[in-house]
Structure 1
Amino acid sequence: MPPRTRTLRAATVAAVLALGTSLLASVPGAAAAEPKPLAVTDHCRSQCADILPPGENGNATLVEILGNKAFGTHPAHSDDQLDRYNGLVPGHTGLTDQKLTDFFNDASFGVAADQVESVTKPRDDVTITRDKKSGVPHIKGTTRYGTEFGAGFAAGQDRLWLMDLFRHIGRGQLTSFAGGALANQGLEQQFWPQAPYTEADLEAQVERIRTTEGARGEQAMADAQAYVDGINAYRVKSKNGRYFPGEYVLTGKIDSITNAGEIQPFKMTDLISIASVVGGQFGGGGGGEVQAALSLLAAQQKYGVEEGTRVWESFRQRNDPEAVLTVHDGTSFPYAGKPDRARGTALPDAGSVTPEPLIHDRTGSAGTDRKAPVDAPAALEPLQGMYDDGVIPEGSLPGSGDGGQKRGMSNALLVSGKHTASGNPIAVMGPQTGYFAPQLMMLQELQGPGISARGVSFAGVGMYIQMGRGQDYAWSATSAAQDITDTYAVELCEPDGSAPTKDSTHYRHDGACTAMEKLERTNSWKPTVADSTAAGSYRMQVFRTGYGIVTHRATVDGKPVAYTSLRTTYRHEADSIIGFQLLNDPAYVTDAASFQQAASHIDYAFNWFYADSRTTAYYNSGMNPVRAAGVDAALPVRAEKAYEWRGYDPAANTTDYTPFAEHPHSSGQDYYISWNNRQAEDYSTAAFGFGAVHRGDLLDDRVSALVEEGGVTRASLTRAMAEAALTDLRGEQLLPELLKVLRSQPVTDPALDAVVQQLDSWRAAGAQRKETSQGSHTYTHADAVRIMDAWWPKLIEAEFRPGLGDGLYTALTANLATDESPAASHGPSGAHSGSAFQYGWWGFADKDLRQVLGQPVKGPLAKTYCGNGDLSACRSALLTTLKEAAAVPATTVYPGDDSCKAGEQWCTDAIVHRPLGGISQKSIHWQNRPTYQQVVEFPSHR
């Protein structure tokens, strides 16, 4: 396949030609006739529902912010979806189809006359109607330009401050904009180095879409411009009318008395900047090859090269035969597998790796603690927890030790009509994007020429619905994280021919000693009304090469190298706009096949799911590079022509990509589940942890049982999701094997036997983390939960560390954290984030315990570790750690934080909506559940 220039594929070109003038931009002065909107028919017939806590309204004036702080009051529609979302915890057990709207919004098109709360006409060609229950904007345009202008205007009404934050995060300028709070520093340090663009880079991406994507690209950029125009229209009106977000006063941007000051105009490049944050956060995949190499070296050092490699591969689990799969019908999609004989692998010399410094010239009193201070003002604590404190060593480039772990936290459950009560497919699905106030996404309905959809869009890139429903179909996504990011080892050099060092800033490229491009961002801040952080500044610096961004320095075979991170979507942050445009177009998406074609135009690594009245479907999107033969994608590769991506053009960052047919896809399977698990047979994972136990099993076991029974309903599928959302993966999947080991002999210590009984009772009751009654804030099996939280890290260390040794155990835990319980403050999601059990050693423990018990294991670990394979010794180690864990008080297991006192178990688990502005929200019960979620069943089709 030749290098993709991102022109439309043949099937899409045919569709474009068939649409004719409907694809021409409806901008003022356009020569072509304005296309007529297609008739809007709602085929869901009140059987579509959705939810997005805490509320649609994400803007608050200064008076409203002060009222929230003083009296706990909330602006209208800023928290009215929170109780419904939280209510599903106790409410799911008695759920019926009729009761779904007790916990979800009615996601029908339009607003009934008696439910209209307000009507706004920012232009003559568009109307924004908001409903009484949730305040969702229903945007209806008579022209394409008006429709998109209305989308931008509504985005300004609901997310103006948030969009401003995100365009500054993407540019690495958050602290200069919003103050020097440590959370702000952490955010710009996390995101900017992943996409360190100059303004010219951003402009080039806009122009590339406009000029290389044909009619669709022209339309997309016209839509984006109309959207920006709408944002700016609201920006001006709110400033002049003095109802702009109060955070602009708190951060010193506008004077509350004189109204002096300005909200800077939005421009097209802001959308690219925002897209880089969103795509990098949820649609990346791969990376972590340097840390993988370090653990491989540790294994080889302990066991020798051959045996050490075999041990490492058994933990890497690239293609584990016991892993839960989304496509489970046996179809194979080989990608990024282990080559028979690797070529070009660039393992570092032992002890030579150092992370690339990111922070330079720091001044002021800002310390090295990345956590926000206890009293950090809510308006200046954006996205605390979206970055992992343990991932970024102070002053170093992000990615130094992430082991390829990405923040993918969404799920989907879909059942074929063959197994439902109605005979129509059912889907319960949504992205888990964390919990923030306001949300990163916003709900909206868009109706206009070539657009007909309702759902969510990320604030600031809401020209189209990104996940939601059309007239007779619905779609959603989960983060896929297949490997679209590779690490190259570039040989360093000096232009004068002298010997290079690890600090050299030139590298060999196509035979020449080439200068690295230094990209910098200097931020300074001073105290504001809302932020008393002392004045300070620092400079972020990265080096860019033809093989990506430098992340580490090392030596390979004694020669100094720089390790670089090369992502296929770099310089293509907004190209996916074409795919979203197609998904919103009722003339394009008419069935499962056209949906899959639309999804294939989305470049980020996502799993896409589809349901209409006839079938369900799945497609895995992403710009998967075609690698040179023999290259091992799991490890660093030498930056030489022979080992580059095939057809690679460094100037445009384009290459050859695997074709549509090689991406996992399926239609009409009996059911689909996804919770960021592996996609299909032979589709190699991009990170550790995709083995015999994965949180996807919590869904797969339940949905397969429903399918076996038959007669699935929207309520029963929602119950399955909600039950999995409250279940402790360790208690359901691992505790049965742990108990078998413990009870392989009688437990003679009465106190310890009582602890074992407690754990068994919890397991028998479903291993859930759930209140005794709504509002009690006390778990039904509180002691068992506490014991498991204290025991798991102890038992894993006792099970594996003696056999692996300190060095290898430490290296492997750097690749994959041992635990990510709801109470954990570490991991990609941070504390109080809802998402749990995505990363952990459950699969390793499962295989190892079954090996000890003599049970069958497919794809076993290379060695048996617990008790060195002896059941009695393994049992002794587990009992010892269990006794220790049982004695650990709750105040130690749950040490307390800014939201909870020490020992407060329920509170430690609880979801906290992290404030991105001046309005805070109450904590809610833990649920491992999508943030935005749809429940859909279409009874008819066009």
Structure 2
Amino acid sequence: MPQRAPRNVLDRLRTPRSFPKFLGAAAICVLVGGLLSPISAAADDGTAALGAAAAGDYCGGRCSDILPPGENGNATLAQILLNQAFGTQPGHAEDQLGPYADLAKGYSALTDAQINTFFNDASFGVPSGQVASTEKPAGRSDVTIVRDRKTGVPHITGITRYGTEFGAGYAAAEDRLWLMDVFRHVGRGRLTSFAGGAAANQGLEQQFWRNAPYTEADLQAQIDHAVAAAGDRGRQALDDVNAYLAGVNAYIDASDSGRYFPGEYVLTGHKDAITNAGTIEHFKVTDMVALASVIGALFGSGGGGEVGNAISLLAAQSRYGVEQGTKVWESFRERNDPEAVLTVHNGESFPYASKPGSPQGAALPDAGSVTQEPLVYDRTGSGATAGAERASKSAATTALSSARRGMSNALVVSGKYTPSGHPIAVFGPQTGYFAPQLLMLQEIQGPGISARGASFAGLSMYVELGRGQDYSWSATTSGQDIIDTYAVELCQDDYHYLYHGTCTAMDKVEQKNAWSPTVADGTAAGSYTMRVWRTKYGPVEYRATAGGRKVAYTTLRSSYLHEADSIIGFQMLNDPGYVKGPQDFQSAVQHINYTFNWFYADSQHTAYYNSGDNPVRANGVDADFPVWAQAPYEWRNWDPATNTADYTPPSQHPNSVDQDYYISWNNKQARDYAAAPWGEGPVHRGNLLEDRVKRLVAAGGVTRSALVEAMADAALADLRAEDVLPGLLRVVNSSAVTDPTAAAAVGKLSAWVSAGARRTETSSGSKTYADADAIRILDAWWPLLVKAEFEPGLGSDLYTAFAGNLPVDESPSAAHGPTGSHAGSSFQYGWWSYVDKDIRAVLGEPVQGPLAQKYCGGGSLSACRDILIGTLKQAAGLTASQVYPGDDQCSAGDQWCADSIVQRALGGIKHGRISWQNRPTFQQVVEYTSHR
């Protein structure tokens, strides 16, 4: 038997020294000689078939897209070894990373003709001279996969619907088989058994399985429900999934027999490098639901956090008394702030989840009684010391999980303001930076399907974000509240609860995981059991007492047990016979039960719609706090057997057609739409887009390159410096600063603001920031000034509780922020609005929706000035090494590196760092010239 390979796939494969310990020289020779790639299909000789007919393409060459690092996300073992040892890249593994990174350097002089220097041509089809390969997957005659030379993107053309979807599955496995396998195991809570017991693997499976602890029966029931509820379209969707899976499994069989499967299967002990012993499990329909549950939890499941809200409210009431404490809490919550930037800015109101006038059924915990429900039990071996039990985290800290989902942006301008008279859009999702990327590009052409764009790996039976024949669509995470917390009163013991007056047993769902010892890193074998207690009101997340009664707090989301329902909406978006205009687009995305903002553009119209199954709550229920698990406080017409209820009708969701422009960067959707995360006040990263696009529209003549430039400029802006620092400097008043260190700091910060407040290099590729000292000073100053400004007035306990609801800072280098370090996405979560409102109040400037009191210096301008100058002096004295302490990627003091974006390895291939940009991962630039 061969030695079992190291199993920390998500972390350990980056260390080249580990490979010789478990692969002999003979094995490497065999692999390099025979496993570099599958047998290639014939390259284009000038007569190869096109991947898709260009007929039906109404974009006129003005559609572009980009998705780093590259389309190829599979690598054989030999390719992984070569990458680890010498940095060589498999073909098309990172060829989109360079153009993506270079936009930060080239956007300021961009012209329309230069757009495809930084993006791919997203026209349908492949010109004959650009065909790299043509294949008939599994020898089928009803589908062809053509890949282009530049990017290797698969262009799938089918004669039959089955063949089309078979080809989509085959192409997906060619490009993302390993990643698909990883995430179906994450969704099932079995990543450690599959890929090893490293802390990163444990964290992934624990994070997602707690929120979706499904049994096999649960997964199958979701499929049955989705099919039955959607009639003919549901049956077609199931047929499409089965054909897609047949394609995936055909590739598994072909790559297994040909020995060109992803090398990670060898590195994790699933396959033998010499004998080829071992198996790669076929995919099945329920795997698709497990995959969907992960994606939905990451990007489409807003709300929750009610227990964390309760903890901070109790802290506020303890500090100030019930009446004033509630006012203070509400002012920091900003759940319907009148100064917030809006996507629907025409004044239309869409009331949802507003604070009730007379709240009913609130079930706040007794102070200090909340504990998180343990998830992990019975640790053995390396699992016993792999890390602290997740239950040790405070409820407030854990509540941050609901804030980790927000990313993505959109800029859409009506044709009234463009030279061509056609709308222009620059939009895309920010799904994080990974190797391989979670998304993959494809084009699918077949009966009832005509689309190109990005899809999550393993769910690519349809294009999920992209373009049709004469329209494009995209999404941003909206985060509106579709999750409620119920307090179920315990009876008999800790595992029975009252349901409508009857003592009812909780359901125990367990997932046992065990992993073998590894060779390269010397970790021992281990195991543990994950256990979730489920009630009719959802899984138990916390325990506490409320009014002296023992309770369990459960989380119920409207998409729970409905992960598969959204497939119908995506099917419609891909159907040219269904989507013929903005109303059809809105009708399609209404079938998507995840919380997204959807945007649309064709040659004549633009549109917007906010999707998600928004539950109709009982009168008087405050969605921001836990309520008692009793019939009067349940969702209207809620059926616990199916987790269905009444949902707000489409007309009550924020929506619009042909507004002058739309922007979205996970900001507030519309007036009175109060079901939002913390932090939607007057300063939000959405303002970076709003200010730029509004200026463009006012001037008129908006071009594709101008809109790309607006996005790229916002992507390099420091929100704190652009929108908050000028007010801070007005308080400081340079003429009043006598300390030389503080005075020098003021001068540097003022010069940076005057220069545009961007985090940009001195020259292309210098890896050194212009205004480096000013950036360092602000990075150091922000947490110091926030603490000094607010903690004296709030008190330590309340300040800490509010910081648990909303992190103080999320700069590009902030490893402590919700998105972590080297993640690109920045400035969504922070106390920007609190500082802005407070500073304006202290200055005597008008503030709509002010904080309940003035905090900086107790409201005294001179005392506030002293606080700011004192903390500024302290910040200016910190060295770069202190501000940027270094990590697994960077040396201490390396400012550019601390900000840099890393494609985090989910397999064996690694890529180089790129400079920071705060922009979508997958992005489209579109302007349609005609319509069907």
Give the TM-score band, short-chain normalised.
Answer: over 0.9
Aligned to 1:319: 336
Pick one of 308, 313, 319 that aligns with 1:291.
Answer: 308
Specify the code of the residue in structure 1 equivalent to 2:249. Answer: N
Aligned to 1:488: 486
Pick one of 556, 561, 565 that aligns with 1:575.
Answer: 565
> Alpha carbons of 1:782 and 1:399: their partners in 2 closer, same or farther (altered >3 Å)?
closer
Pick one of 550, 560, 567 that aligns with 1:560.
Answer: 550
Aligned to 2:804: 814
> Alpha carbons of 1:38 and 1:212: their partners in 2 closer, same or farther (altered >3 Å)?
farther
Contact (CA 8 Å) 2:157, 2:445: kept in 1 or not?
Answer: yes
CA–CA separation in structure 2 for the residues paired with 1:705 and 1:402: 35
Contact (CA 8 Å) 1:183, 1:370: kept in 2 or not?
Answer: no
Aligned to 1:405: 403
TM-score, normalization by structure 1 = 0.92
Helix, strand or coil: the match of 2:798?
Answer: helix
Q: 1:531, CA displacement in angstroms?
A: 5.5
**Range moving further from structure 2, 779-788 or 525-534:** 525-534
Specify the code of the residue in structure 1 equivalent to 2:889. Answer: S
Q: 1:192, CA displacement in angstroms?
A: 0.7
> Alpha carbons of 1:744 and 1:305: their partners in 2 closer, same or farther (altered >3 Å)?
farther
CA–CA separation in structure 1 for the residues paired with 2:385 and 2:525: 15
Q: 2:926 aligned with 1:909, yes or no? A: no
Q: 1:306, CA displacement in angstroms?
A: 0.7
Aligned to 2:788: 798
Aligned to 1:365: 382
Contact (CA 8 Å) 2:308, 2:395: kept in 1 or not?
Answer: no
Specify the code of the residue in structure 1 equivalent to 2:218. Answer: D
CA–CA separation in structure 1 for the residues paired with 2:397 and 2:225: 28
Aligned to 2:825: 835
Aligned to 2:253: 236
TM-score, normalization by structure 2 = 0.93
Residues 525-544 of structure 1 aligned to structure 2 (within 5 Å): 525-528=515-518, 532-544=522-534
Deviation string, structure 1 residues 741-781 (Cα, Å, up to 9, x no partner): 00075211233211101000011111111110111110001
CA–CA separation in structure 2 for the residues paired with 1:530 and 1:671: 55
> Alpha carbons of 1:172 and 1:420: their partners in 2 closer, same or farther (altered >3 Å)?
same
Deviation string, structure 1 residues 841-900 (Cα, Å, up to 9, x no partner): 001110000000000000000011000100000010011100000011111111111110
> Alpha carbons of 1:777 and 1:85: their partners in 2 closer, same or farther (altered >3 Å)?
same
Q: 2:750 aligned with 1:760, yes or no? A: yes
Contact (CA 8 Å) 1:617, 1:667: kept in 2 or not?
Answer: yes
Residues 673-684 of structure 1 aligned to structure 2 (within 5 Å): 673-684=663-674
Helix, strand or coil: the match of 2:103?
Answer: helix
CA–CA separation in structure 1 for the residues paired with 2:397 and 2:830: 19
Contact (CA 8 Å) 1:328, 1:680: kept in 2 or not?
Answer: yes
Pick one of 456, 459, 462 that aligns with 1:461.
Answer: 459
Unpaired runs of 5+ residues, structure 2, are 1-51
Pick one of 159, 167, 186 that aligns with 2:184.
Answer: 167
CA–CA separation in structure 1 for the residues paired with 2:604 and 2:391: 51
Aligned to 1:43: 58
Helix, strand or coil: the match of 1:452?
Answer: strand
> Alpha carbons of 1:75 and 1:442: their partners in 2 closer, same or farther (altered >3 Å)?
same
Specify the code of the residue in structure 1 equivalent to 2:333. Answer: R
Aligned to 1:712: 702
Residues 239-258 of structure 1 aligned to structure 2 (within 5 Å): 239-258=256-275
Pick one of 410, 431, 434 that aligns with 1:433.
Answer: 431
Specify the code of the residue in structure 2 equivalent to 1:251. Answer: T
Deviation string, structure 1 residues 372-417 (Cα, Å, up to 9, x no partner): xxxxxxxxxxxxxxxxx9xx55589998332741412100000000
Aligned to 2:661: 671
Specify the code of the residue in structure 2 equivalent to 1:257. Answer: I
Residues 866-881 of structure 1 aligned to structure 2 (within 5 Å): 866-881=856-871
Specify the code of the residue in structure 2 equivalent to 1:490. Answer: V
Aligned to 1:470: 468
Pick one of 67, 71, 93 that aligns with 2:86.
Answer: 71
CA–CA separation in structure 2 for the residues paired with 1:634 and 1:276: 24
Aligned to 2:114: 99
Q: 2:347 aligned with 1:330, yes or no? A: yes
CA–CA separation in structure 1 for the residues paired with 2:597 and 2:396: 25
Q: 1:836, CA displacement in angstroms?
A: 0.3
Q: 1:283, CA displacement in angstroms?
A: 0.2
CA–CA separation in structure 2 for the residues paired with 1:490 and 1:98: 61
**Range moving further from structure 2, 396-405 or 266-275:** 396-405
Specify the code of the residue in structure 2 equivalent to 1:63. Answer: A
Aligned to 1:114: 129
CA–CA separation in structure 1 for the residues paired with 2:112 and 2:735: 48
Q: 1:212, CA displacement in angstroms?
A: 2.4
Pick one of 139, 153, 165 that aligns with 2:156.
Answer: 139
Aligned to 2:202: 185
CA–CA separation in structure 2 for the residues paired with 1:39 and 1:75: 29
Contact (CA 8 Å) 2:636, 2:646: kept in 1 or not?
Answer: yes
Contact (CA 8 Å) 2:136, 2:143: kept in 1 or not?
Answer: yes
Q: 1:39, CA displacement in angstroms?
A: 9.4
Specify the code of the residue in structure 2 equivalent to 1:882. Answer: L
Q: 2:296 aligned with 1:279, yes or no? A: yes
Aligned to 2:43: none
Helix, strand or coil: the match of 1:402?
Answer: helix
Contact (CA 8 Å) 1:404, 1:686: kept in 2 or not?
Answer: no
CA–CA separation in structure 2 for the residues paired with 1:470 and 1:894: 45
Deviation string, structure 1 residues 46-100 (Cα, Å, up to 9, x no partner): 1000000000000000000000011110100001001000010101011000000
Contact (CA 8 Å) 2:429, 2:475: kept in 1 or not?
Answer: yes
Contact (CA 8 Å) 2:429, 2:920: kept in 1 or not?
Answer: yes
Helix, strand or coil: the match of 1:518?
Answer: strand
Q: 1:648, CA displacement in angstroms?
A: 0.4
Contact (CA 8 Å) 2:304, 2:399: kept in 1 or not?
Answer: no
CA–CA separation in structure 2 for the residues paired with 1:401 and 1:605: 18
Q: 1:687, CA displacement in angstroms?
A: 2.1
CA–CA separation in structure 2 for the residues paired with 1:559 and 1:586: 57
Pick one of 773, 776, 786 that aligns with 2:766.
Answer: 776
CA–CA separation in structure 2 for the residues paired with 1:490 and 1:336: 22
Specify the code of the residue in structure 1 equivalent to 2:157. Answer: K
Deviation string, structure 1 residues 312-335 (Cα, Å, up to 9, x no partner): 000011100000000000000000
Deviation string, structure 1 residues 211-251 (Cα, Å, up to 9, x no partner): 22100000001001101110000000000000000000000
Pick one of 829, 845, 852 that aligns with 1:862.
Answer: 852
Q: 1:686, CA displacement in angstroms?
A: 2.8
Helix, strand or coil: the match of 1:49?
Answer: strand
CA–CA separation in structure 2 for the residues paired with 1:530 and 1:856: 63
CA–CA separation in structure 2 for the residues paired with 1:403 and 1:542: 18
Contact (CA 8 Å) 2:514, 2:528: kept in 1 or not?
Answer: yes
Specify the code of the residue in structure 1 equivalent to 2:400. Answer: D
Contact (CA 8 Å) 2:807, 2:818: kept in 1 or not?
Answer: no
Contact (CA 8 Å) 1:453, 1:470: kept in 2 or not?
Answer: yes
Pick one of 628, 649, 659 that aligns with 1:659.
Answer: 649
Specify the code of the residue in structure 2 equivalent to 1:636. Answer: P
Helix, strand or coil: the match of 1:401?
Answer: helix
Helix, strand or coil: the match of 1:166?
Answer: helix
Q: 1:38, CA displacement in angstroms?
A: 11
Runs of 4+ aligned structure 1 residues displaced above 6 Å come to 395-399
CA–CA separation in structure 2 for the residues paired with 1:650 and 1:847: 43
Identity %: 65
CA–CA separation in structure 1 for the residues paired with 2:500 and 2:743: 68
Deviation string, structure 1 residues 432-491 (Cα, Å, up to 9, x no partner): 000000000100000000000000000011110000000000000000000000000000
Contact (CA 8 Å) 2:538, 2:554: kept in 1 or not?
Answer: yes
Residues 492-641 of structure 1 aligned to structure 2 (within 5 Å): 492-494=490-492, 500=493, 504-528=494-518, 532-641=522-631
